Amino acid sequence: MRWEDREESSNVEDRRNSGSSSRGSGGRGMPSMSTMLFIWPIIQRLLKTKFGWAIIGIGAVAYFSGFNPLSSLTGGQATSHINKKADDRQASFIKTVLRDTEEVWKDIFKEHGARYSEPSMVLYRGTTQSGCGHASAQMGPFYCPSDKKVYLDLSFFDELAKKHNATGDFAQAYVLAHEIGHHIQNMEGTLSKVQRMKQQARGQKGENKLQVRVELQADCYAGVWAHHAHKRFNILEQGDIEEALQAASAIGDDTLQKQAQGYVVPDAFTHGSSTQRVEWFKKGISSGDIKSCNTGI
């Protein structure tokens, strides 16, 4: 992806060297989907014995005391092992991508007679506080509608490459563009609408189906951004689209479930299958039209 020597976004809070981040990936915070899929078989076995229940109880006490017992399972890394030069370059890259999203969505909203409100991005290491509660590296990147900020621990990109074989800078750009897609949904009122629909849904299965539609639309919006960003900034190089498609496929629910437990439970999907995620990103990037991103919500 062509990105160097271009403007970076100023809507960035860099907390990588703050005290809350320097503890590595310990601390409270909800575990990511991949982590939960990994530990669920262990929890099921523990629930069958009194000793197992005791272990779960100890873990719960530790969690609510501010220590995340899952950190040892998820390979948390301390900031002292980070290559600062490489980390700063990574930060510069993602700030540039954020600026690209600002320019593209500003134009798209203007075409539709609306004004784009730019979100902020928080870069951190390990743990930090968000408007949606405590954030940790284990959660992966996420958008918080309460404070309109994207939270991103840069170590996620290392995990994306090493654990999911999704390498390349455009794979990383896709991840941020997906989270910005959630900001678009927040501005459109989609997130609040879906929240109301979830309250009327019958059980977790119905809620999951609604969430999948939200995530697939964000994938489509990421594709819409890529379409217009290339037209405006000529960002795409050979292999870039394949990088994004590989990333979308690698973090599909079915792929993650197979890796974690060896089998797939479609009713537990919250982001969509690998095929679905690839399909909706393709819709966005081929059309460049947000109207093509109607997932039924």
Range with lowest mean pLDDT among 73-77, 165-169, 256-260, 281-285:
73-77
Q: What is the DSSP letter of 13?
A: E
Give the model confidence (pLDDT) of 99-133 as tens digits.
Answer: 999 999 999 999 999 999 999 999 999 999 999 99
Confidence of residue 57 (pLDDT cuts 50, 70, 90): confident
Confidence of residue 45 (pLDDT cuts 50, 70, 90): low
Residues contacting 89, CB < 8 A, separation 6+: none
Give the model confidence (pLDDT) of 219-238 as tens digits.
Answer: 999 999 999 999 999 999 99
pLDDT value at residue 18: 76
Res. 34: pLDDT tops 70: no
Which token pair is 136? 């940790």
pLDDT value at residue 218: 98
DSSP string, 112-143: TT--PPPPEEEEESSEEEETTEEEEGGG-SEE
C-beta neighbour count of 94 within 10 angstroms: 26
Of residues 177 and 54, which shows the higher confidence score? 177
Q: What percent of the chain has pLDDT over 70?
A: 81
pTM of the model: 0.80
User: Mean pLDDT in the chain?
Assistant: 86
Range with lowest mean pLDDT among 69-78, 165-174, 248-257:
69-78
